[in-house]
Amino acid sequence: MARRPQSSSPTSCEIDMTPMIDIVFQLITFFMFTMSFEEIQADERVKLPLDVLAKPPEVKQKHAVVMNIGFLRNVKGERLDPEPLLFNFGSGQKIRPLEASKYMEQEARLYRLRKVELEDVTIKIRADQEVASGIVQEVIKQCQDAGFSKFAISAVADTSK
């Protein structure tokens, strides 16, 4: 009598999932630790100047208004508009740096309502490296007129030197 050929085993081929799950959990842990819920007011369109002395501050400024002054650029980094703009500021619309005074007065009013002395508020100026310095000076003057006196200019840490 001819023997019937042995039927293939019904058990399916099992993949060991343990290494994949290990890696996935490690990735989740990494992303969780690097994530920051802090609201970052920096704008990536602003190409900050590089400097060796630019080190992140050890003590965070308690009250700060960030002013991003930069240019609208295309993907290649070429300027689309020769005049700089204030990004992420005021109503979020296109604001020219020379029109910042009314927004600065609003900011000053808000701080006064919160009983914060304007001397304790730092105006953090994140200006593009190619912005005309006179524009930055004009912005500082408008802030001074609104009552602010503490300023900080931002630069990216130059680690190449």
Partner 1 sequence: MKRRLVPSNDKLQLDMTPMIDCTFQLIIFFMLQLKIIQPEGDFNINMPPPGAPGPAIGAILPEIKVTLKSNPDGSLAALMLGQRNLGNSPKVYGLLNEEILQIIGRPGDPATKDTEVEIDIDYKLHFKHVVSTVSACSGKLDKKGRLVRYIEKIKFTPPRKPSE
Binding site for partner 1 (CB under 8 A): 17, 21, 24-25, 27-28, 31-32, 34-36, 40, 42, 48-57, 124, 126-134, 136-138, 140-141, 144-145, 147, 149-157
Residue with token string 């030197």: 161
Q: Judge contact between 141 and 100, C-beta under 8 A.
A: no
Distance CA 137, CA 146 (A): 14
Least separation, in Å, of the C-beta of 103 and partner 1? 18
**48 versus 95: smaller Cβ distance to partner 1:** 48
Burial of 137 (0-12, 13-18, 19+ CB in 10 A): exposed
Least separation, in Å, of the C-beta of 49 and partner 1? 4
Burial of 71 (0-12, 13-18, 19+ CB in 10 A): buried
**3 versus 112: smaller Cβ distance to partner 1:** 112
**48 versus 100: smaller Cβ distance to partner 1:** 48
Provide the edge-to-edge strand list for the sheet that holds 85-87: 85-87, 63-70, 121-127
Q: Which amino acid is at 113?
A: L
Least separation, in Å, of the C-beta of 93 and partner 1? 23
**106 versus 149: smaller Cβ distance to partner 1:** 149
**3 versus 16: smaller Cβ distance to partner 1:** 16
Distance CA 45, CA 126 (A): 11
Least separation, in Å, of the C-beta of 121 and partner 1? 13
Least separation, in Å, of the C-beta of 156 and partner 1? 5
Q: Judge contact between 128 and 156, C-beta under 8 A.
A: no
